[in-house]
Structure 1
Amino acid sequence: MKPLRLRIEDQDDLNVVSAHLQDAVTAVGDFAFEPKRRRFACVVNRFAWEAEGTARLGPRRHFRVRAGLHFDDVLAVRSQNIRQDAKDAIVSLLAVRFEPSATPEDPAGTITLDFAGGGTIALDVECLEGHLTDITGPWETRHKPAHDLDA
């Protein structure tokens, strides 16, 4: 399994990154906003969906990878239903989405990280700019994330 190094510059890039980050887990304390650098960053343990069912790795083997995610040109960060004081609390990322500004020519907008249980982190950005980079090799996990689609 090759390490991911993905650049985020548009909605299509973000959709690919969001798919790779589905079911990533992290501690609340692993989120960081650096206002002077205008950067929001976090480290996550992402589920390696790209390895699922591959003959080389085995159809019943599942993997996670430690990855860094960051967004640049961040003007403000807001969170909802995430306890900032619970630094060791684990959250599970469901999706990352982008809502552009109302003006079509303006590259600004809001990036939203949606978490299981209804938590969100919203990033007001000047433009869509970021990276997802694997920082460790894969390790095996017994659990494959599952979602109740009827809920």
Structure 2
Amino acid sequence: MVEQEASDGKPLKLRARDPQDMDVLAALLQDALVPLGDMKYLPEEKRFVLVANRFLWHGDPAEDERPAAPRPLPEGEDAAFDDADQPPFERVNSGLCFDKVARVRYRGLKPGGDDDILNLLTITSDARSVTLIFAGEAAVRLEVEAIRCHLEDLGQPWPTRWRPHHDADESGEQP
């Protein structure tokens, strides 16, 4: 069951206990940026954790007509924000923790690539597994005893000029 939703600028704090709850978390985490080095499986604790730089979608992304990238800047001008041109988007760091994880399988991730930044496209799940699907055909599959997931925003949102966009060839296959 989804426990709490953010409102009035309060940090998001949710838990998921079934595939329907995971669908809610998948929507919230769509287009999150996840440093590979910020994902960790803790087998002794049966826990998988990560920190994601979560894009704050407001409304339906398909109906959002704002540009996916900032307007071109005149030569010599930097991308700093000014009072007259406020950035229209926000991101926030969020912690994601899965408990009761029996096994983790990785696909399409480079060993030792801890500096790599992954783009989380979606999360799929059933009663015994959760799959984090990233751009570039990368995925992490968690085999779980039960879905026990917690998502919590860490800190306050910050402005960004960049709205995520997707190439038509990004895969949504599971490992």
TM-score range, shorter chain: 0.7 to 0.9
CA–CA distance in structure 2, aligned partners of residues 6 and 40 of structure 1: 16
Post-superposition offset of 1:6: 0.7
Percent of matched pairs sharing the same residue = 40
CA–CA distance in structure 2, aligned partners of residues 91 and 150 of structure 1: 16
Is residue 2:150 matched to residue 1:131? yes
Counterpart residue number, 1:6: 14
Post-superposition offset of 1:149: 4.9
TM-score normalised by the chain length of structure 1:
0.85
> Does the CA contact (< 8 Å) of 1:28 and 1:84 recur in 2?
no
Post-superposition offset of 1:83: 1.0
SS at match of 1:85: coil
Counterpart residue number, 1:69: 96
TM-score normalised by the chain length of structure 2:
0.74
Per-residue CA distance 1:52-109 (angstroms, 9 max, x = gap): 87xxxxx961000000001000001010001131100111000011133xxxxxxxx1
CA–CA distance in structure 1, aligned partners of residues 111 and 16 of structure 2: 26
Counterpart residue number, 1:92: 119
Q: Output the aligned Cα RMSD.
A: 2.0
CA–CA distance in structure 1, aligned partners of residues 109 and 169 of structure 2: 25
Q: Which runs of 5+ in 2 are unaligned?
A: 1-8, 65-85, 171-175
Q: Which runs of 5+ in 1 are unaligned?
A: 54-58, 101-108
Q: Which has the larger radius of gyration?
A: 2
